[in-house]
Structure 1
Amino acid sequence: MTETLTPAGTAPAWIAVDWGTSNLRAWAMARDGRVLAEATSDEGMGKLSRDGFEPALLRLIGPWLEEKPPIVACGMVGSRQGWCEAPYRTVPCTPLDMAGQVMAPTTDARLRVAIAPGLKQTQPADVMRGEETQIAGALRLLPGYDGVLCLPGTHSKWVHVSAGEIVSFQTFMTGEMFALLSEASVLRHGMQGGGWDDAAFDTAVSDALSKPEKLGARLFSLRAEGLIAGLSPQAARARLSGLLIGTELAAAKPYWLGQRVTLIGAEKLSAAYARALSAQGVDAQRLNATECTLAGLASLSPQTEGAR
């Protein structure tokens, strides 16, 4: 657990919480949007039973609760396996809706926890939890934005946004596939250590975009080249990433071809997507994921200046 305490005598106006499968993050917020303090723990949804959420939150933010500030939460905390289920809203719709929040059941009188619901798409079937809050934040940071948002990650999202609403979206398991293939498949033997090879990444992206149907064969060639041609671990990792991202881009082409594209995600991963898109003539803007999350949660807090 890590924590930064608020300055002496400073009480938060509200508390922002992003509760994922693996981690819990919280921020003590001022009314004007300043972050007064932040705290993180590894008590994500995946490690908790339903009755474990309130104690986990109290362990993390107990010192901030003296004046009972409202708490706004997003992410897997609202899933079926979370603290309490916040039913999905159906697209097309705005990313967030103040009236759609669900209040978590609590026993500590200091806690008032509102959970933002995720979004669902009926055809083709798709869902998101947490990303809708980042999208709402991006729309606050980029007023009047029309175009496409890409949120790279374990499950990458491509999202068409128009007139303040999410029109459609599509999810790709690219990040999870990279983790499984590099850590749990036969390919792991040739990917030990760190390092990166930009040229290998670029070539793999181009190859996957032009021939995505050959992904399975290209993947095994990483193993074969490591055995008989001395393919370095850094080149193998970069090629694996490039093959997977390139295949994703091939499938997501209707989202990015000729469109305004903005990336929301971790710096290193967003940079890889930006590099791959740049080779296709797309100059993607980048936004910080945490800043988008906080801006989105701020739109739901009644204690925020300018909340909608």
Structure 2
Amino acid sequence: MVSPVVTGPDWIAVDWGTTRLRVWAMQGSEVLDNRSSDKGMGSLTPEGFEPALLELVADWLGDRPVPVIACGMVGARTGWVEAEYRPTPCTPLDPLRATRPLVADPRLQVHILPGLSQIDPPDVLRGEETQIAGFLARNPDFEGTLCLPGTHCKWVRIASGMVEGFHTFMTGEVYALLSRQSVLRLTIGDARPDMDSFLEASAQAATNADMAPAGLFPLRAAALLNGLTAEQGAGRLSGLLIGSELAAARPLWSDRRVVIIGAPELSALYAGALTQAGADAHQMDGGELVLAGLTAAASALTRTT
């Protein structure tokens, strides 16, 4: 059961990912209530998005239209409706270019924020732009690189409040595939990485990216011959992959200030590897930044209407 909001919200913030839906009832920048469900983009057809949203917010709605500001995979090609990609360099958000899906309930005024793109090399991001906007709302003078680790890690160059460009590494997805579907599943499985093993392997791969492909099968052999534990194997696999990523991304973090934004456990691995490699790296929990970015978008939209 969800508890009703005593006072109706001015607007509703929505973070709609592949697996989760999170909503906040907002008055200005104040959170009145928040809820979530497992009805992410990946489990819905286009016709299912409005009912899934109403399941969480219907009792927040009165008899007038309420702006709904949404980010994330809800705007993907396989989402509710495809939102455009804005080409970089650009500001992280432009709510005036949000996409408006058709809705049956007239109380919903849904705005799906656009993602970002670049042509050379080809790349796109969707959802992270709102975290970036939330970070810049709190750190308007930041100059440097943002690292947003996850299934796909985004390295984003920031200057003068603009996203200059970015680069995506599929490191998290590659780790998941190797640890759960390759022969390494017999050694690693779902074990949590041992930090000492991680740092040793990341240092090796950060200076020699060839260590990553060359060092994969020895993890299985070491488990059979040398008693390598699952945690040590997970640490070495993470270190080899993230270290190789750091080697390829060196121009993005060398001699630049780097802020790592993401889930604490994964961000700590990147922070440890970057610091060990000599980077000026700082870690920040990304949980609150999505809401800060959505709030900035709502404020900009209000000023223009």
Q: Same fold (TM over 0.5)?
A: yes
Q: 1:265 maps to which residue?
A: 262
1:99-248 superposed matches below 5 A: 99-192=96-189, 194-248=191-245
Report what 1:63 is aligned to: 59
1:307 and 1:181, CA in 2 relative to 1: closer, same or farther beyond 3 A? Answer: farther
Q: Which residue of 2 aligns with 1:41?
A: 37
| Letter paired with 2:216 | L
Q: Distance in 1 between matches of 2:181 and 2:189?
A: 12
> Distance in 2 between the 1:4 and 1:137 partners?
28
Quote the Cα distance in structure 2 between the aligned partners of 1:10 and 1:176: 42
Query: How big is the shift at 1:193?
Result: 5.2
Contact 1:298 1:307 in 2 (8 A): no
In 2, Cα distance between the equivalents of 1:241 and 1:249?
12
User: In 2, distance between residues paired with 1:150 and 1:307?
Assistant: 32
The answer on 1:74 being equivalent to 2:63 is: no
Residues 4 and 38, structure 1, Cα contact 8 Å, conserved in 2: no
**Deviating 4+ runs (over 6 angstroms):** 303-308
| Residues 27, 39 of structure 1: 8 Å contact kept | yes
Count residues with an aligned counterpart: 304
* TM norm structure 1: 0.94
CA distance in 2, matches of 1:147, 1:246: 20
Alpha-carbon deviation of 1:20? 1.1
| Paired residue type of 1:53 | F
Show CA shifts across 1:180-213 (max 9, x none): 1111111011114534422101101011112211
Whole-angstrom CA distance in 2 between matches of 1:29 and 1:110: 15
Q: Deviation of residue 98 (structure 1)?
A: 2.3
- On the 8 A contact 1:6/1:36 being kept in 2, the answer is no
Structure 2: gaps (5+ residues)? none
Distance (whole Å) between structure 2 residues aligned to residue 304 and residue 84 of structure 1: 20
Q: Secondary structure at the match of 2:79?
A: coil
**SS of the counterpart of 1:127?**
strand
Amino acid at match of 1:48: L
Q: Percent identity?
A: 50
Q: Could you report, residue by residue, the CA deviation over 1:89-136 in whole angstroms, capped at 9, with x for unpaired residues?
A: 100111101221111210011111100000110000000000111111
CA 1:60 to 1:269, structure 2 compared with 1: closer, same or farther past 3 Å? same
Distance in 2 (CA, whole Å) between partners of 1:193 and 1:150 is 24
Partner of 2:10: 13
- Aligned-partner residue type, residue 75 of structure 1: G
Q: CA shift at 1:61, angstroms?
A: 1.7
CA drift at 1:286: 2.4
The secondary structure found in structure 1 opposite 2:292 is helix
Paired letter, 1:72 = I
1: distance between equivalents of 2:250 and 2:204? 15
Superposition deviation, residue 139 in structure 1: 0.4
For residues 183 and 68 of structure 1, what CA distance do their matches in structure 2 show? 47
Q: 3-state SS of the aligned residue for 1:183?
A: helix
CA separation of 1:107 and 1:193: change in aligned 2, threshold 3 A: closer
Q: Which one of 78, 89, 92 corresponds to residue 92 of structure 1?
A: 89
Provide closer, same or farther for how the CA distance between residues 138 and 101 of structure 1 changes in structure 2, counting only shifts above 3 A.
same
What is the CA–CA distance in structure 1 between the aligned matches of 2:33 and 2:304, rounded to whole Å?
20
User: C-alpha root-mean-square deviation of aligned residues, in Å?
Assistant: 1.9
Question: SS in structure 2 opposite 1:102?
Answer: coil
Contact between 2:256 and 2:280, CA under 8 Å: does it hold in 1?
no
